[in-house]
């Protein structure tokens, strides 16, 4: 990754139909959920919103929730750390090391 840096990437996982964006780790490690924006937060929010609105499954108002969160209230977009804190995630690595 360091030899061939990239400009944009997507990390996919199963489960919720939601687009998360960095950072995934909170600034204060003892807080389980805390909004942790990057300096490029506006760009990440825009990219996430465009993707979520263009994805037919995510944009459909008839889909059921996967677990307990209703991400449709937020346009199916959320900062990773404010939802599910993960230390050392691929999202954060990709942002910090390219």
Predicted TM-score (pTM) of the model is: 0.81
Which sequence spans correspond to the domains of the chain? 19-96
Please give the average per-residue pLDDT across 49-74, as a whole number.
81
Structure tokens at 4: 């061939």
Write down the pLDDT at residue 45. 95
Query: Is the CB of residue 84 less than 8 Å from the CB of residue 19?
Result: no
Please give the average per-residue pLDDT across 35-55, as a whole number.
93
d(CA 15, CA 95): 23
Q: What is the pLDDT of residues 10-25, one digit of tens each?
A: 777 677 788 999 998 8
């Amino acid at each position: 990754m360091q030899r061939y840096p990239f400009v944009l990437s997507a990390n996919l996982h199963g489960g919720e139909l939601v687009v998360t964006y960095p950072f995934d780790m909170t600034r204060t490690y003892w807080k389980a959920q805390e909004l942790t924006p990057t300096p490029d937060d506006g760009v990440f929010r825009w990219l996430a919103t465009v993707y979520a609105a263009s994805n037919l499954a995510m944009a459909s108002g008839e889909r059921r929730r996967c677990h307990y969160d209703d991400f449709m209230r937020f346009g199916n977009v959320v900062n990773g750390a404010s939802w599910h804190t993960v230390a050392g995630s691929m999202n954060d690595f990709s942002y910090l090391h390219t």
